[in-house]
Copies of this chain bind each other. A is one copy, B any other.
Amino acid sequence: MSLSIYETTVNTFRRMLGGLDKELQRAVEYAATRGFEPDRLLSGRLAPDMFDLTRQVQIACDLAKGAGARLAGLDIPKHADDETQIAALRARIARVLSFLDTLPREDIDGAAEREIVLSVQGRELRFAGADYVNRWALPNFYFHCSMAYALLRQQGVPLGKRDFLALG
């Protein structure tokens, strides 16, 4: 009668990254109808000192694979931040989705009290697993998915919140 950590994290990451992948596909289609190079969208920023679309997608991916691995007690796969095309970002999403598929549900569901240690800008953050989910992994993951959506919307890609929610 409570929330499964696996459902709340891994299945959320799957659904939302699947939605983000479709948003990127929609961006490519939109650019085609308007006759511009879709990868131009990747340098869009909401403010000069905020990350561009490429980085927002990379970080959303890293939060999903990092949280999945940490909660399962596994090493985090490293993905180079070298994408310069939407196609490459979509491939990164696919790699993360494949990794999420390998994570054992029972290990993740048992992680509520596992200590999670993060190093963030040279500062060490320690959380119990449940707090890590609620105070770090979910808000950060949703933040970067939201920024990616906003950057596509701001540049004209026809999307609605239903695409963001990816309810299917």
Contact = CB atoms under 8 A, between A and B. Distances in A.
Interface of A: 1-5, 7-8, 11-12, 15-16, 46-47, 50, 109-110, 112-113, 130, 133-136, 138-140, 142-143, 146-147, 149-150, 153-154, 156, 161, 164-165, 167
Given A112-B1, A113-B1, A135 B167 contact: yes
Secondary structure class of chain A's binding surface, majority of residues: helix
Contact of A150 (B5, B46, B113, B167): B46
Contacts of A143: 142, 146, 149, 161, 164
A124 to B, nearest CB: 13
B130 A4 contact: yes
A50 B158 CA distance: 11
Contact of A109 (B2, B8, B139): B2
Contact of A2 (B3, B16, B47, B147): B3
A62 B45 CA distance: 28
16 contacts: A1-B112, A2-B3, A2-B109, A3-B130, A7-B130, A12-B139, A46-B150, A47-B150, A47-B154, A135-B167, A140-B161, A143-B149, A143-B161, A146-B146, A146-B150, A147-B150
